[in-house]
Amino acid sequence: MANATYQSYRTDSLSAPVVYMTRDISPAGLMKAYEALGVKPRGKVAVKLSTGEGGNTHYLDPNLIKDLVHRLDGTIVECNTAYAGTRNETSKHWQTIKEHGFMDIAPVDLMDEEGEIEIPVEGGRRLTGDFVGSHFTNYDYYVVLSHFKGHMMGGFGGALKNISIGIASSHGKERIHSGQDEVLDEPFSAEQDSFLEAMAEAATGVFNALHGNMLFINVMNNLSVDCDCDGNPHAPEMKDIGILASLDPVAVDQACVDQVYLADDNNGPLIERMESRHGIHTVEHAVEMALGNRNYRLVDLDAE
């Protein structure tokens, strides 16, 4: 049942960033959410998504996103992972990308295949810079397609994770997980809040480097407690919710968190995953970094 005591951050204030929502998880629904944003990306467009670990089937279906990627004339972009698996080395990652069908729908670019660059992070308490793939600056606009779901370490993954951990090079991922500029000998053993704050700071660095030339679409399906980076994720224990889109990455992630708490079916496992990892702290610190706003105005596209 929905959590009757949970207070959502939805507001009617016209000054709040807009989050558009449709329950239609289809190519047409995805296009409708994109078009509602009213922006036309210019220049070379990157479509940032997770290509999914080998063995995982929860990642965004290429058939779902194909029409939108074609409309954008976009290039799908990713970076290598920092843990052992099917995507931590370029050759293996390309094979996974091929097996998961992304090369069938659009050009794909592994942005750290040829190295990394450092972009500044200003005003953070954890990071002064963020290592991203060296191809990061090849694109003028980033369309961020995120599969919203749980995450073993972050509590949940959405837009903020996708532009922080997701755009970071393999080395950059280790820095973020370390929660500081100096990479720890065991980078995945950092104090939890320092890791979450580093994610928010890396996301801010990316957004500022792009001068805000980004939009964010979160797809709330296959709502497992585990990430697309898990090769053997738990099966989803609640029904699909919909597609949410915004120009504010903080607002769209907060709106997705609200949707999980307010869902009428078995959302307990995902809530436990988010709360046990203090996942909302990434959103909290992103607000402190002036990346975006937690309060948002929800526009229901299905009611139009």
DSSP string, 78-133: E---SSSSSSSSHHHHHHHHHHTTGGGTS-EEETTTT-EEEEE--S-SS-SEEEEE
pLDDT above 90 coverage of the chain, percent: 96
pLDDT in tens, 191-245: 999 999 999 999 999 999 999 999 999 999 999 999 999 999 999 999 999 999 9
pLDDT of 2 above 80: no
**What mean pLDDT do residues 92-98 have?**
98
What domains can be seen in the chain, in order of their start residue? Answer: 18-303 (3.40.50)
pLDDT reported for residue 18:
98
**What mean pLDDT do residues 23-39 have?**
98
pLDDT reported for residue 62:
98
pLDDT in tens, 33-90: 999 999 999 999 999 999 999 999 999 999 999 999 999 999 999 999 999 899 999 9
The one-letter code for the residue type at 70 is H
**What mean pLDDT do residues 110-118 have?**
98
pLDDT of 1 above 60: no
To the nearest whole number, what is the mean pLDDT of the chain? 97
Q: Where are the alpha helices (DSSP H) in 100-215?
A: 159-164, 170-178, 192-209
Tokens linked to 230? 């898990």
